[in-house]
Amino acid sequence: MTKQNKYTDSIRKHLRCFLCAPFFMVLEASGEFILPYLNADMIDRGVAVGNTAYIVRNGLLMFVTALAMLIFGVLGAYFAVKGSSHLAAEVRAKTFRQIQKFSFANIDEFSTGSLITRITNDITQIQNFAQTLLRGCFRSPVMLVGAVCMSFLLNPRLAAVICVVIPILGLATALLIRTASPRYTQMQKKLDGLNNQINETITNERVIKSFVREENEKEKFSAVNQVLMEKSISALKMMILMQPVSTLAINVTTLAVVWIAGRQIMIGGMEIGTLTAFITYLTQILTALNFLANIFLQGTRAAASNRRISEVLETCPDLTDESAAQKDRQITGGGIEFQNVSFTYSKKKDPVLKDISLKIAPGSFVGLVGSTGSGKTSLISLIPRLYDVSAGAVLVDGTDVRELSLTKLRESVAVVLQKNTLFSGSIAENLRWGNAQADPEELRRACRIAHAEEFIRRFPEGYDTDLEQGGTNLSGGQRQRLCIARALLKHPKILILDDSTSAVDMATDAGIRRALEKELPGMTKIIIAQRIGSVIEADQIIVMNEGRIEDAGTHEELIRRCSTYQEIYYSQRDEENAAV
- What pairs with residue 173 in β-bridges? none
> Which of Mg ion, ligand CTP, none does 113 bind, CB closer than 5 to 8 A by kind?
none
Task: Choose the one of Mg ion, ligand CTP, none that binds residue 345, judging by a C-beta under 5 to 8 angstroms depending on kind.
Answer: ligand CTP
- How far is the C-alpha of 541 from the C-alpha of 548, rounded, in Å? 14
Which CB, 190 or 376, lies closer to ligand CTP?
376
- Alpha helices for 358-468 (secondary structure H): 376-381, 406-412, 427-431, 440-449, 453-458
Buried-exposed string 420-445: b where 16+ CB fall within 10 A, e elsewhere: bebeebebebbbbbbbeebeeebbbb
| Residue 373 interacting entry, from ligand CTP, Mg ion, none, C-beta within 5 to 8 Å by type | ligand CTP
Find which of ligand CTP, Mg ion, none residue 419 binds, CB within 5 to 8 Å per kind. none
Q: How far is the CB of 201 from ligand CTP (least distance, A)?
A: 21
State the nearest-atom distance from the C-beta of 415 to ligand CTP, in Å. 13
Least distance (Å) between residue 397 CB and ligand CTP: 24
- Which uninterrupted H or E stretch holds 277? helix 272-314
Q: How far is the CB of 527 from ligand CTP (least distance, A)?
A: 13
Q: Which is nearer to Mg ion, 119 or 544 (CB)?
A: 544
Of 289 and 528, nearer to ligand CTP (C-beta) is 528
Query: 3-class SS at 448?
Result: helix
Nearer of residues 37 and 345 to ligand CTP, judged by Cβ = 345
Using CB under 6 A as the criterion, which residues of the chain lie in contact with ligand CTP when the complex forms? Answer: 345, 349, 352, 370, 372-378, 418
CB of 368 to Mg ion, least distance (A): 9
Neighbours of 405 (CB within 10 A): 16
Which is nearer to ligand CTP, 83 or 375 (by Cβ)?
375
Which entry of Mg ion, ligand CTP, none binds 352, CB below 5 to 8 A by partner kind? ligand CTP
Taking the least distance from each CB to ligand CTP, the nearer of 313 and 352 is 352
The binder of 78, among ligand CTP, Mg ion, none, by C-beta within 5 to 8 A per type, is: none
CB of 532 to ligand CTP, least distance (A): 14
Cβ(100)–Cβ(320) below 8 Å: no
Cα–Cα distance, 544 to 524 (Å, whole number): 19
**Residue 368, helix vs strand vs coil:** strand
Interaxial angle between packed helices 123-136 and 15-41, expressed in degrees from 0 to 180 and rounded to the nearest 10: 40
| Minimum distance of Mg ion from residue 383's CB (angstroms) | 14
Q: Which does 378 bind (CB under 5 to 8 A by kind): ligand CTP, Mg ion, none?
A: ligand CTP
Measure Cα distances from 413 to 162, 227, 387, 409, 442 in Å.
74, 45, 14, 6, 19
Asked if 463 contacts 428 with a C-beta cutoff of 8 angstroms, the reply is yes
Of 418 and 426, CB closest to Mg ion: 418
Q: Which residues bind Mg ion (CB under 5 A)?
A: 377, 418
Identify the CA nearest to 25 among candidates 137, 117, 177: 137
Q: Angle 139-154/15-41 helices, nearest 10 degrees?
A: 20
347 touches, from Mg ion, ligand CTP, none (C-beta below 5 to 8 Å by class): none
Task: Give the Cα separation of 168 and 452 in Å (integer).
Answer: 77
Residue 369's H or E segment, with its range, is strand 365-370
Report the residue number, 180 or 352, with the smaller CB distance to ligand CTP.
352
Nearest to ligand CTP of 147, 538 (CB atom) = 538
Closest approach of Cβ 396 to ligand CTP, in Å?
20
Using CB distances below 5 to 8 A depending on partner kind, what does residue 246 bind out of Mg ion, ligand CTP, none? none
Closest CB 499 distance from ligand CTP, rounded Å: 6
Nearest to Mg ion by Cβ — which residue? 377
User: CA separation (Å) from 81 to 36, 134, 137, 524?
Assistant: 29, 9, 14, 57
